[in-house]
Structure 1
Amino acid sequence: MNNTAVRASIVIAAVYGYFLIFAQFSFIELLRSGGARPIEEKFALGAMALAGIAGGFFAAWRGVNPAMLRIALGLAAFSAVLAPFARTMPGALGIAMATGGSLGVATVTLAALVPGWCGIVWIGIGTGLGYAVCNVPAVFMQSPSGQAWIGSGLALLGLVAVPPVTARPRAETGKVFPLWGTLALFTALVWLDSAAFFIIQHEQDLKSGTWGADLLWRNAAVHLAFALVAGIWFGKGGARLLPALAWAILAIAALAVNAESTRGLAGWLYPAGVSLYSAALVAWPGWFSGTTDTRGTAWRAAWLFAVAGWFGSANGIGMAET
């Protein structure tokens, strides 16, 4: 087994897991438990997004390397450890900016370096593991503080696992969508996902029928299985069709969750669609953007994660709240 590829998949899982369980979930709950008003919550999340965008473009401008990724993951771990003790303003604002900035650097650096570490199937493995870990009952049912500390542990695990390799193969790249089309496609996917998940998690009937405690192991398994499917599908040349399929699955799930008779189906479809597009989101800069060098890949990743990741996620959650 390729040791570098295994380490790469662990880093992918760690970054995704940190983003999901802490930045997108625990941090919001910590803000609310600290008495944050809606306007303060939006301000903190907006600051996180702006810091994430700035961090991503800084990484692309500065030039990525494994040391940069390790530093970013170290800062991410530190901010998550402190978050339960800084759940009110202005401390929470500092945590938000540190979290966003470190994630911005980490995601762009990872996307640019990972083609030199592993084949595309490992992208699916890492993405699936990240989602699966977050859905393990002992993680998902933790208190917000516990989830923050789990997120910190994931960041530290990623820091240790970062491979030292920086070279990348040139033969595995190809252009599937132009940049503007990619940004539009993935922004729509992230927007829909963020809005749907926020609503599901804050409406008890929807949550119990799709993300209840007795369904978490199933959701973890579905996430892992479909991320693996995505990785294998990419390897067989399915990069153009897969994001469209993910959109269709998510749209059907978003409709099905509203009716009690089809809510169970939505519980299967939603994690499947999320894992399909998430693996594609990680893979696109390095394999399907048409770039042939690490620097070019970093710039593509910075644009993708700024628009689709941070902008799409923030507006999806904001739309759901409104």
Structure 2
Amino acid sequence: MEKYNIPRGVQVFNRIADFRSWRRSILMNGQTLGYVPTMGALHAGHIGLAQQARKDADHVALTIFVNPAQFAPHEDLASYPRTLQADLNKIGELPVGTVSAVLVPQVNEVYPNGIELEVEKQVGAFVEIKGLSHQLEGGTRPHFFRGVATVVSKFFNIIQPDHAYFGQKDVQQCVCLKRLVQDLHFPIELHICPTTRESDGLAMSSRNVYLTPSQRKHALVLYKMLSSIESDYRNGERSRERLLSKAMGIYYAEEKQVAALNEGWNMKFDYLSLADPKTLNEKPEAIEGGCIASLAIFMGKARLIDNFLIDCEL
């Protein structure tokens, strides 16, 4: 492993066996472990998960691993931000003892049979979550949840945490992982923490670094669309068609503004959903009992997602 400045009180492991030895010492001391999985490029959302984990457990471990299995060949695996020293610096800004350990494993150890980006060429053991992974994000990224479920299963086995923490921004992932823990009998308490947002409402994401200043300004359209749906629902609107229509009007107005800029980039609509929080199936025309309002929009080369939980829980 390259030489990095490691924060005081934090142990950084490159090999799974070394981490497991440390984990065993925690177990032998009767202490609990909270776990925050990340792909690096840490932001305030990740830090908030670590802080919450420390409130619930004696120790906190993070993994920093850009997981190839959740990227399709045409996606941004090669360009995905890798900022390990900056990530360690952010961890070092926390009070000593907040994070005890960081595991930064190598791809060839996590995937000992290698990992191809094309599913048809992959060799080894993989995990799928049927019924919850084909819709929404799965429509655009059909490979995604297979990769997520596989790597999270691997890390749950490696880390063996008592608690694990995920952000609500990746809401379909949260629903899938709750099912994963239930169906595979992982002895882990899963915590879904609220989305961390910028002061203007934009959901924090590692992919926000891709945004130009102009794209960053127009990326607020996601928050505006979700806020419109929530506000209208709170005011008594239950028609799926009218809720979606008004939100899409906001999108089309923003898209028109972007086109008028003539800056060489475009917005592209992916999906807007009002789904059941348990099944992720679309709610019928008359929406009752709340819903997950979620959407995805391409902003230049960045694909942004966001969601609101409206009168429902995960």
Instruction: Pick the TM interval, shorter chain.
Output: under 0.3
Larger strand share, 1 or 2: 2
TM-score, structure 2 normalization: 0.28
Look at both structures and tell me which one has the larger radius of gyration over its CA atoms. Answer: 2
Bigger RCO (CA 8 Å, 6+ sep): 1
TM-score, structure 1 normalization: 0.27
Larger helix share, 1 or 2: 1
